[in-house]
Structure 1
Amino acid sequence: MCGICGIVAVPEKIGINDSSAIEKMMQAMFHRGPDGKGVFRSDGILLGHQRLAVIDIEHGKQPMYSADKRFALVFNGEIYNYLELRQSLTQSGIVFSTFSDTEVLLQLLIKEGKHALNKLNGMFAFFFVDTFTGKWLAARDHFGVKPFYYANVNGKFIFASEIKALLKHPEIQAEVNQQGIGQYLTFQFLLGQQTLFANINKLEPAHFIEGELSGAQVPARYWDLDFTVNEQVSEQLLHEKLTSLLEDSVKLQLRSDVPLGTYLSGGLDSSAVTAIAAGYLDAPIKSFTGKFTEYHGFDESEYADDVARYCGANCQHIEPSQKDFITDFNQIIYMLDEPVAGPGVFPQYRVSAEAAKQVKVILGGQGGDEIFGGYARYLVGYLEQALKGAIFETQEEGKHLVSLESIVPNLPLLKQYVPMLNQFWKEGLFESMDKRYFRLTNRAPDIQSLLSNDTLALLDQYHPFSQFESIFNGANTHSYINKMTNFDLQTLLPALLQVEDRVSMAVSLESRVPLLDKRIAELVASVPPGMKFKGGKTKALLKEVLKNKVPQNVLARKDKMGFPVPLAQWSLQGPVAEFIQDVFSSQRARQRGIFSQSALQNIGRLGGVGARQLWGMLCLEMWHQIYIDS
């Protein structure tokens, strides 16, 4: 796990400022790789690398280049199937000088170029260049676990693992992307390649970009999920295949030359990863869970403890405080580069910081909700579909996936989501699938009363539904559950993985996500929807194969939490309330013009504002202060 950066242009455009900038860019990402650094220089090419040593600690240094220095590579991540790839390359006559996955990737790229992407199982972002021809290739992994940002400036292609590193280059300025503000207020993440910074893009998951010293081509996709259903598969065979893939993915991701552990929330996904991992280790695995005990409904550590006892793990509890929130908040926003997702990033950061004191690699359960259908809003969507089908006798998916009779036993999951149901059913009932799911993901209505007239005009000018619709209806499927999960895989998941990457790398901890194995995703995409979302039961398929791997009370949970934070309660009184008041009462915040003056004046008395909305406001304001004002 590392930080990579680079500057590429025709030789006459590379000057002394670029040589100085590459060092500053690396220093800005020191946290990503404190174990070593390196720079590669060639005509028109500057590559930088900060290393977190995990595999072949002694010899895996980067930038790595071929013996004749023709080919050079900077790489961030892990190739989990590197031993299998190495064996195949050795059989073809290639001789290796290290035992690192970096050298395997280098040799595979030399041999096969962009076609090597189809053989990789891992999390990765890399830049590979042929110094003789000046041709280069950059790519990002299938789900976007590892980041890759870039800017085209004055004939230079400049890239880095984090935006803060790009901003160290004197020719890149921190300017606000107004359309990005509109997207953030709508979804609390950005669609496509946009960032909140004007003229700075992100390479999307499962995409590559090629170029020469004179410039870059348009990014292209190298992998996508195929939702063609395998109607012939039996449930027994499917369960056997999925069990085998889950076990193999965890086993591959346990490859490490340094101590490792797991995140363990007590939810199904992290419990599954911890339990499977524990079965492959001789000593009890170290696991880490966060909790808040001040208020009811913010502590699921009893489930984490049950899992730990069940599989013999050593579970450690971390309880972040209001003081921690105030101490950490600015650092979290700085590390994120741009705000995304919800307040769960705060306890994630705290848990990662504690875990980093004992392990260098950590496995988590990220991705399970998106692949297996775990969000409550999927059930909300199907509850409406079942009502629509019963009333109008419609069959939008070819046949009824979920009937009213079958969905009833699973509806208690929605008990804590009654406010969302009230909002969801206010208007547009029984509209098309895309319009209804847009309403389930659109956060703008929850915050509109807090926005200034200028910001409301911006939202009117920006029409997010058209871009939403193209993604939602882009998959080769008529299935509602497949459309919903595919949208989340392409949009929400990369945002959550941005959080996963930043909070772990901020403390020099490598985070791995075994459920995000492309083989698992491909198998589940081919499963008949009725089997995957049987009776509207979230994660029906995953729960079936985990019956003998995790405690029964974890399988039967109906109180999905998702690392909740008592931010709404903290905001009413006490040190966090005072901190929030200070942020929004500042002259900069009042002159910003994003939120209405009445909202800023009454921020401590906005009882109707939930933690998610308050977090979105707070993050956006502090992001401006850290990155734009300064």
Structure 2
Amino acid sequence: MCGIAGIFNFDSEPVNRELLTRMTRVLSHRGPDDEEVCAWGNIGFGHRRLSIIDLSERGKQPMSNEDGTVWITYNGEIYNHLALRDELRKKGHLYRSQTDTETIIHLYEEEGPGCLEYLDGEFAFSIWDANKKVIFSARDRLGVKPFYYHISDARFIFASEIKAILPHPRLTRKIDLQALSHYLSFSVSPAPLTFFKDIFKLEAGHYLLVGGDGKIVKRQYWDCMPGPKIKCSEAEAIEAIRFKLEGSIRARLMSDVPFGVFLSGGLDSSTNVAFMSRSMAEPVKTFNVAIEGNYEYDESYFAESVSRNFHAEYNSIRINFEDFRGLFNNLAYYTDEPLCDYACIPNFYLAKLARQKGVSVIQVGEGNDELFCGYRSYAAILNLIKFYYPLPSLIKMPVFNLSRFILGKKMHYTVSRAARNQDVFLGGSYLFSEEEKVSLFKKSLNLKGMVTSEAYVSGIYRNLLSKFPQASPLDKMIYLDLKVRLPELLLMRADKMTMANSVEARLPFLDYQLVEYALRLPDNLKFFRNQTKYIFKKSLEGILPKEVIYQPKKGFAGSPLNMFGAEFQGYLKQTYKNTQPLLAEWFDTDNFKERLNFNRARMNFREGSKVWSLFSLMLWLERFLK
């Protein structure tokens, strides 16, 4: 994994190499091993290298084809590059290195943008085609690798991280109000929006073509669309899952440097260890983090047990509030935008531990809960649809009124939407409702023309149903999370926190062929007899201990509530004081401040996450706009 950056001036103004070098050096944490900047008149590419495959000088980027007419700056890994290399060689292409980078170049020469259909991996790249005078940029199917860009009448600028675009003198730091509003609801700004008004994310499964006249074409080449359900027995599904998963994990062992795995002790990370141990001659290096005092969510017992069971080299670290506070000042810098995910911090320390132990490539478990219905929220919605929807109207309202006392605020809100025949699932990290946001924003703020987050979700559901009308409620929930929460929150957490420590994260559960298969599995193989991830758990029987497979889901690093003590309250107050003049531009500061007050004994996970989201927002304002 690496860091990429580039500038394309449409007015033929030569690229300022010193500026491009500064942009590229902002990404030094993504690529500590090498740096190169190339410019060809009004075009310039920069690259920071984290050497993983072919550690020699031949692997340096930007890299070109044989005659220098096609250049690439690339971040990621292509796991089928050796098979593609053989085919391309037969067509006369010459290779100068053992890298997967050259394969992308030659495949582009053969197929143009169609090359994306052949790539199996995680990537973000830009290619300069000197003959066609066009830059071709792409992001992988699921959005594992980030790609940010600015486009105007005068120029196209791109980079792996937003902060590498900001040094350009033509850019101003203005907040995007629509992104801010969506963040409060979704815990992240959904693509293509970012918190910066003139900087965008390239959506997962999309590519850009940018010509010298400034014309930009954006197209989708893949979507996480469910299809007609596969007719198969449990035994057939188990065999297919094992085969595809083992192949995906084995492919992601491709590396010329030391390898490891993040092991929480939960099902997904333990699955990584089990299959990695089958394919590695040396012991698997496992890395676990636990939070002091967070005993309810501590899975280190299972992590140690799994490590012993597979003769792995177990490494662990325990962190406390001082460790959290030690990262607060830099958290927003590493994430570029507010990410309302408390787990960013333990992920950071896990990656730091791995790097200290000499490991620079890590397998992680993100994505599996979405594919196989692993979330309790999915189960709750499915049960609501099964038992509440069929009730007569006369009974629905009394049940709705009782839900506040029996189920808590979050499910009461969900039941209220069901009672009004509205979409009940608005995302796995949905926090502030539209009504709550209205009370937070200051009354004089012009919200005319803003898209509500509920309307945004409805648009995603409409797109799904227009292409696959028979989509089930579970299909809809999975599709929504694969479009918003997974690529822009969970995958950016994995990318930004590992890359902050110069560690590459690989995600075997997001092999696109495994994803496509999982999306077509019948719902009753994913959620059966109130068992989440039913068929996936069955497929691990005989491979993992049953106590690991069927342990209650705890969630990585647990709950933000663990940090909500007097020290954190004091830190919140000081951060509010530091950012209050900035907050006043958009918020009713009295209501905002009131939202920061909490009663730890009476606070649930969702209310704690709301406090954390506002805290993350303040950290970002302090870092980027103050």
For normalisation by structure 1, the TM-score amounts to 0.90
Alignment check: 8 A CA contact 2:226 2:471 kept: no
| CA shift for structure 1 position 571 | 3.0
The 1:431–1:558 alpha-carbon spacing in structure 2 relative to 1, beyond 3 Å, is farther
Partner of 1:100: 99
Q: What SS class does the counterpart of residue 391 from structure 1 fall into?
A: coil
| CA shift for structure 1 position 217 | 2.0
Q: What SS class does the counterpart of residue 529 from structure 2 fall into?
A: helix
- Distance in 2 (alpha carbons) for counterparts of 1:94 and 1:559: 50
Partner of 2:212: 213
Q: What SS class does the counterpart of residue 22 from structure 1 fall into?
A: helix
Partner of 2:501: 507
Counterpart selection for 2:485 from 460, 470, 492? 492
Matches within 5 A, 1:444-459: 444-445=432-433, 451-454=440-443, 458=447
Partner of 1:27: 25
Partner of 1:405: none
Counterpart selection for 1:479 from 469, 472, 485? 472
Alignment check: 8 A CA contact 2:143 2:491 kept: yes
How many residue pairs get aligned? The number is 601
The 1:456–1:346 alpha-carbon spacing in structure 2 relative to 1, beyond 3 Å, is farther
* CA RMSD across the alignment: 2.4
Matches within 5 A, 1:150-549: 150-358=149-357, 359-388=359-388, 390-391=390-391, 418-419=407-408, 422-425=411-414, 427-432=416-421, 435-438=423-426, 442-445=430-433, 451-454=440-443, 458=447, 462-475=451-464, 476=468, 477-494=470-487, 495-549=489-543
| CA shift for structure 1 position 538 | 1.4
Letter of the 1:427 counterpart: S
Give yes or no for the alignment of 1:579 onto 2:571: yes
- Distance in 2 (alpha carbons) for counterparts of 1:605 and 1:367: 32
| CA shift for structure 1 position 168 | 0.8
| Deviations 1:519-551 (CA, angstroms, capped at 9, x unpaired) | 001111121222232234211121111112222
Alignment check: 8 A CA contact 1:472 1:484 kept: no
The 1:461–1:3 alpha-carbon spacing in structure 2 relative to 1, beyond 3 Å, is closer
| CA shift for structure 1 position 559 | 3.7
Give yes or no for the alignment of 1:69 onto 2:58: no
| Deviations 1:552-601 (CA, angstroms, capped at 9, x unpaired) | 11211224223224x43433313x33322211123536645535326527
Q: What SS class does the counterpart of residue 578 from structure 1 fall into?
A: helix
Letter of the 2:539 counterpart: V
| Deviations 1:593-615 (CA, angstroms, capped at 9, x unpaired) | 53532652784555455331121
Alignment check: 8 A CA contact 1:363 1:513 kept: yes
Letter of the 1:368 counterpart: N
| Deviations 1:122-160 (CA, angstroms, capped at 9, x unpaired) | 000010111133122110001101011001134211100
The 1:559–1:139 alpha-carbon spacing in structure 2 relative to 1, beyond 3 Å, is closer
Partner of 1:414: none
Alignment check: 8 A CA contact 2:427 2:480 kept: no
Partner of 1:615: 612
| CA shift for structure 1 position 232 | 3.1
| CA shift for structure 1 position 110 | 1.4
| CA shift for structure 1 position 86 | 1.0
Alignment check: 8 A CA contact 2:22 2:167 kept: yes
Letter of the 2:253 counterpart: L
| CA shift for structure 1 position 430 | 4.3
Alignment check: 8 A CA contact 2:595 2:611 kept: no
- Distance in 2 (alpha carbons) for counterparts of 1:24 and 1:355: 28
- Distance in 1 (alpha carbons) for counterparts of 2:430 and 2:441: 18
The 1:144–1:590 alpha-carbon spacing in structure 2 relative to 1, beyond 3 Å, is closer
Alignment check: 8 A CA contact 2:495 2:505 kept: yes
Partner of 1:403: none
Alignment check: 8 A CA contact 1:250 1:273 kept: yes
- Distance in 2 (alpha carbons) for counterparts of 1:101 and 1:165: 25
The 1:212–1:605 alpha-carbon spacing in structure 2 relative to 1, beyond 3 Å, is closer
The 1:527–1:333 alpha-carbon spacing in structure 2 relative to 1, beyond 3 Å, is same
Alignment check: 8 A CA contact 1:365 1:515 kept: yes
| CA shift for structure 1 position 455 | 8.8
Partner of 1:37: 35
| Deviations 1:329-380 (CA, angstroms, capped at 9, x unpaired) | 1211111000123211111111111111120100010111111111111111
- Distance in 2 (alpha carbons) for counterparts of 1:551 and 1:447: 45
Alignment check: 8 A CA contact 2:229 2:521 kept: yes
Partner of 2:397: none
| CA shift for structure 1 position 323 | 1.2
Q: What SS class does the counterpart of residue 437 from structure 1 fall into?
A: coil
The 1:246–1:297 alpha-carbon spacing in structure 2 relative to 1, beyond 3 Å, is same
Alignment check: 8 A CA contact 2:182 2:189 kept: yes
Give yes or no for the alignment of 1:556 onto 2:550: yes
Q: What SS class does the counterpart of residue 576 from structure 2 fall into?
A: helix
Q: What SS class does the counterpart of residue 594 from structure 1 fall into?
A: coil
Letter of the 2:54 counterpart: D
| CA shift for structure 1 position 93 | 2.6
Letter of the 1:366 counterpart: E
- Distance in 2 (alpha carbons) for counterparts of 1:177 and 1:102: 35
Alignment check: 8 A CA contact 2:429 2:485 kept: no
Letter of the 1:369 counterpart: D
For normalisation by structure 2, the TM-score amounts to 0.91
Q: What SS class does the counterpart of residue 146 from structure 2 fall into?
A: coil
- Distance in 2 (alpha carbons) for counterparts of 1:454 and 1:274: 53
- Distance in 1 (alpha carbons) for counterparts of 2:486 and 2:288: 21
- Structure 1: where are the runs of 5+ without partners? 394-416
| CA shift for structure 1 position 162 | 0.4
Partner of 2:2: 2
Q: What SS class does the counterpart of residue 84 from structure 2 fall into?
A: helix
